[in-house]
Amino acid sequence: MMSSFPRRFATCTPVAFHANDYFFTRDTGLICKELQKLGHQCRVIMPLPAHADDLATESLLRVPQKTLSSPGWWRGLGVDGVVLYSWGDPRYLSVARAIRKAGLKLIIHFDSSGELHEHLSRPGSKLINKAKDILINLLRSKHLGYAHFITTSGPCIEALSKDSSYGAELAARCKGFPAPVSSCFQYYGGEKQPRIICVGNWHTTVKRAGMLMRTIDALLQRHSSALVDICGPATPALQDWWTNLQESAKNRVQLRGFCNHEQLSKLYNRASVSLCTSESEGSHGASAEALCCGCSVVCPPRPLLSVVRWYTEKNSGTVSREDTPEELCSALLEELEKWQKGERSAADIAAAWNPCFRVSQLAEWLS
């Protein structure tokens, strides 16, 4: 049950990220703003140094890194609970320990693809990698063990429950909360169009702008009327690709650049399908936002996309048969056909997924 009176919370990212406008649209910055909208007091805690583009706001408090490991400092902060974004990283175990020793309610957010033994597949000595794997998981388990609750995705909860390094007791503390999504991302009831939306920072290698371009090329050839919105900073190659499209194809593809939440919400609400072309993701915020706005999701069958694959399981998307542009295009065509036949429902998709991403749950768990 939601607390009937305002509480005092903090979110903590133990890394000195830039606390600019973009920071407050995702992760701990977004959680802080959403808790404030609900009437609670909240601040983001981050280590120094400050950055020139930090927002001048009372919602941000920077302290020396070592201060985050002081129970006395946390005790004196005067908050009821903390959401710690530490990715289960053993380097921040001392921060989790300090918060618990201060007597505060602690949620640790574990944004992960569900891969717990990443060192075993890395190049180098198998013996050394095995030793690293054992040590990392021992320390990660100890770190997560300080949490009253661990927020993460369904695939990650399943992986933790089945892994001997963690087990059922730790998995029992897990709550299904893959990522925070702004309350502005909702389905508003309008008609869906045969439109694909693709959102990402295309300068980031992991997003695979090349795979995006080849997939859209195939779609334009195989579907006569599908429209495409590509949102986020475009690489020169992506810009050149769009410039060189035939005029008829160019009219169907929009390079929209950076879009704020309100602009994205409008685009998601008219799109039918959200396309993820990444090689790996944790909770993938763009897919989460799209689901809340009633879009279905298409992604490739890559091992480190387990959370995005999970997003398709509530009659809400398709995983391509292979990780190729041709098969991703086929998956898009399957989805568009399902929308045309009435086999997809924007209202049902939004209703199934929206509660999973809402920050109001965190206030309940911290109360």
Taking the C-alpha atoms of residue 275 and residue 296, their distance in angstroms, rounded to an integer, is: 9
Q: Which residue has the higher pLDDT, 168 or 357?
A: 357
pLDDT of amino acid 2 = 45
Taking the C-alpha atoms of residue 253 and residue 169, their distance in angstroms, rounded to an integer, is: 49
Average pLDDT of the residues of the chain: 95
Rounded to the nearest 10 degrees, the angle between the axes of helix 346-353 and helix 285-292 is 120
Taking the C-alpha atoms of residue 91 and residue 88, their distance in angstroms, rounded to an integer, is: 9
pLDDT digits (tens, 9 = 90+) for 141-197: 999 999 999 999 999 999 999 998 898 889 999 999 999 999 999 999 999 999 999
User: Which segments of 66-179 are extended strands (E)?
Assistant: 81-85, 105-109, 149-152, 174-176
Domain boundaries 195-354, corresponding CATH code:
3.40.50.2000
pLDDT of amino acid 5 = 67
Q: Which two tokens stand for residue 356?
A: 């999973």
* Residue 113 pLDDT > 80: no
Taking the C-alpha atoms of residue 48 and residue 314, their distance in angstroms, rounded to an integer, is: 42
* Residue 1 pLDDT > 50: no
pLDDT digits (tens, 9 = 90+) for 267-277: 999 999 999 99
pLDDT digits (tens, 9 = 90+) for 204-259: 999 999 999 999 999 999 999 999 999 999 999 999 999 999 999 999 999 999 99
pLDDT digits (tens, 9 = 90+) for 286-296: 999 999 999 99
- Tell me the CA distances in angstroms from 147 to 32, 64, 109, 356, one per residue in order: 19, 23, 9, 20
Taking the C-alpha atoms of residue 104 and residue 118, their distance in angstroms, rounded to an integer, is: 32
Domain ranges of the chain: 8-181+358-366, 195-354
pLDDT digits (tens, 9 = 90+) for 41-84: 999 999 999 999 999 999 999 999 999 999 999 999 999 999 99
Question: Is the distance from CB of 286 to CB of 306 less than 8 angstroms?
Answer: no
Taking the C-alpha atoms of residue 49 and residue 18, their distance in angstroms, rounded to an integer, is: 9
Enumerate residues 6+ apart whose C-beta is below 8 A from 137: 116, 117, 163, 165, 166
| Whether the domain at 8-181+358-366 and the domain at 195-354 fall into the same CATH topology | yes
Range with the poorest average pLDDT among 26-40, 160-174, 255-269, 298-312? 160-174
3-class secondary-structure state, position 174: strand
- Taking every pair of Cα atoms in the chain, the longest distance, rounded to a whole number of angstroms, is 65
Q: Which fold has domain 8-181+358-366?
A: Rossmann fold (3.40.50)
Question: Is the distance from CB of 173 to CB of 149 less than 8 angstroms?
Answer: yes
Chain-centre distance for alpha carbon 175: 15
Q: What are phi and psi of 44, to 5 degrees?
A: -90, 130
Taking the C-alpha atoms of residue 299 and residue 362, their distance in angstroms, rounded to an integer, is: 29
Question: Is the distance from CB of 69 to CB of 85 less than 8 angstroms?
Answer: no
Burial degree of 309 (CB within 10 A; 0-12, 13-18, 19+): buried
pTM of the model: 0.93
- Nearest of 233, 299, 241, 231 to residue 266 by alpha carbon: 231
Ranges of H-type helices in 124-230:
126-144, 154-162, 167-171, 209-222
